[in-house]
Amino acid sequence: MAQDSTFQVEREDGADKGRYVIRANGAEAEMTYSHAGVLQIIIDHTEVPDALRGTGAGQAMVAQAVQDARAGGYKIIPLCPFAKAQFDKHPEWADVRSGA
């Protein structure tokens, strides 16, 4: 499933941690991750405010992370329960899934 085109997902990547952000409807949704070596990230938290709940914002951020992992040649460990649930719903993302 492709990323929801109604959202612009921004990525802020640091040396150890990073996040994906959607700013819409006067609110900010974020999904944070940590680098686990060069070839893995761990999605550790997703937060979608009430103003964006049910809009697909959370899924759009996970989908963007999957797209980035494919492009960058790395794997994702979905530690966050929301991200894990999205991976469970999308078996086509198995190529970038690592760990539990």
**pLDDT, tens only, 63-92:** 999 999 999 999 999 999 999 999 999 999
Q: Is 1 a residue whose pLDDT tops 80?
A: no
Residues 6+ apart with CB under 8 A from 73: 39
Residues 6+ apart with CB under 8 A from 43: 31, 32, 33, 62, 65, 76, 77, 78, 79, 80, 83
Q: Residue 33's closest CA among 69, 1, 57?
A: 69
Q: Is 4 a residue whose pLDDT tops 50?
A: no
Tokens linked to 85: 């649930």
pLDDT of residue 5: 52
pLDDT in tens, 12-38: 999 999 999 999 989 999 999 999 988
Across 50-70, average pLDDT: 96
Task: Please name the fold of domain 9-92.
Answer: Aminopeptidase (3.40.630)
Every domain of the chain and the residues it spans? 9-92
Can you tell me the distance from the alpha carbon of 69 to that of 63, in angstroms, rounded to the nearest whole number? Answer: 10
